[in-house]
Amino acid sequence: MGKYFGTDGFRGEANVGLTVEHAYKVGRFLGWYFGREHKAQVVIGKDTRRSSYMFEYALAAGLTASGADAYLLHVTTTPSVSYVVRTEKFDCGIMISASHNPYYDNGIKIIDGSGKKMDEGVEQMIEDYIDGISEEVPLAQRENIGRTVDFSAGRNRYIGHLISVPVRSFKGYRVGLDCANGSASAIAKSVFDALGAETCVINNAPDGMNINTNCGSTHIEELQKYVRENHLDCGFAYDGDADRCLAVDENGELVDGDKIMFICGKYRDQQGKLSDHTIVSTVMSNLGFRKACERDGLKTVATAVGDRNVFEEMVQNGYDLGGEQSGHIIFMKHATTGDGILTSLMLMGTMIETKRSLGSLADEMEVYPQVLKNVRVTDKDMAEENPAVQAAVRAAEEELGEDGRILVRPSGTEPLIRVMVEAASAEICEKYVKSVVDVIISEGLAAE
């Protein structure tokens, strides 16, 4: 990770960690970088945060000042920007969003011309330009100054793409959608309505400050209650920029990203559509996911945490399904990034094709109890490499055997060591988490 750009773009509190000056300079550099041999065309989308409008105009100003044309999708989803960039041959795309973070945070995600996250090398060049390490880029003059273009038509084409994915009507299904007062508010209901569902929507009245507030995929309990009380067949909750989706079955039970991948992967494999019978997940996927896949003849590949790592593994080995427990799932046939609305459509399609309820499909995967403890430490590397800590981890691994697992890793953003154990019972999990945490403390590695 760089100074500004992390695993999911340049993120920070609006006008504190991420300012309009930052946005302007990002626009200036991208307009110049992609416009060295032709007039660059860059598409911009944003979520519903109040500060998103401010950053949209700052980015557009920077782009046009460098001679690029800025095409504005307005309020839309991250995957829609990826889709439009890829299908409309833009030089790159920019999404203004801090995903599932609170409204006062925001972020700048840069998408390359193939619809995936921008190469880290380009992000490093942007950082150097922001910090004045590299030379100033020239200002466009006269007829070379760029323009802004209203491109809401691009968002409409993306909606059409989503509607074209399912092969059967959703007629007869009552579906709940929690749009998190975010980007999905502009798209999700129209897609489900067009497919024939009786669509019931909550948290789709954004005011600039209520995005992700007690709603969406980070507060799934709101949708669980709504599905139960209204006797719906299922429900889908998105995050602020709708690149994630978690589901709720007819009984109001959570169906997380692991279960969604298992359900869709198993069905796709039965149809002969799952590449090499393999699903790509991260090390944080539940042990129950791997065991269910193994039982049903599916293979799994685990990557480091982060959708970028999942995507790279999929591209490198030709896999077509992968994702994270958090609901960030990639269906490579249809998208090059996680797409929450697409995920909900794929899950609906599986329910309809198999003629089964979401609950019955989800019950085929047992979720192992999991306990996670974050330990604040003075030095993450020192704690992770400590011989006594490593010995404690090995001892836990040996005792858990095939019936559980332990994962100890440093946080990517905070001075924390995360100790996670999965096993047959919460008591067993607690026991082995404590065995490692106690060693971290006794070795003097924990912060006061």
> How many CB atoms neighbour CB 16 within 10 A?
9
Show the CA angle centred on residue 179, arms to residues 43 and 73, nearest 5°.
Answer: 15
Query: What residues have CB less than 8 Å from 10, skipping those under 6 apart?
Result: 4, 18, 22, 26, 107, 108, 109
Helix (H) or strand (E) holding 56: helix 50-65
| 233 annotated as a binding-site residue | no
CA nearest to 100, candidates 240, 249, 279, 252: 240
Q: Of all helices (H) and strands (E), which one includes residue 74?
A: strand 69-75
Q: In what order do the strands lie in the sheet with 198-202?
A: 198-202, 174-178, 234-238, 245-248, 254-255
Residue type, 114: S
Cα–Cα distance measured from residue 138 to residue 28, given in angstroms and rounded to the nearest whole number: 9
The verdict on whether residue 320 carries a ligand-binding annotation is no
Length in residues, the chain? 448
Q: Is 99 a catalytic residue?
A: yes
Query: Which amino acid appears at position 191 of this protein?
Result: V
Q: Can you tell me the distance from the alpha carbon of 142 to that of 134, in angstroms, rounded to the nearest whole number?
A: 25
User: Of the listed 51, 99, 185, 326, which one is catalytic?
Assistant: 99
239 is in an annotated binding site: yes
Does 243 show up as a binding residue in the annotation? Answer: yes
Residue that the structure tokens 């569902």 belong to: 197
Listed in sequence order, the residues at least 6 apart from 165 whose beta carbon sits closer than 8 Å to its beta carbon are: 334, 342, 345, 346, 349
Where is the binding site, in residues? 99, 239, 241, 243
Where is the binding site for Mg(2+), in residues? 99, 239, 241, 243
- Just list the catalytic residues: 99
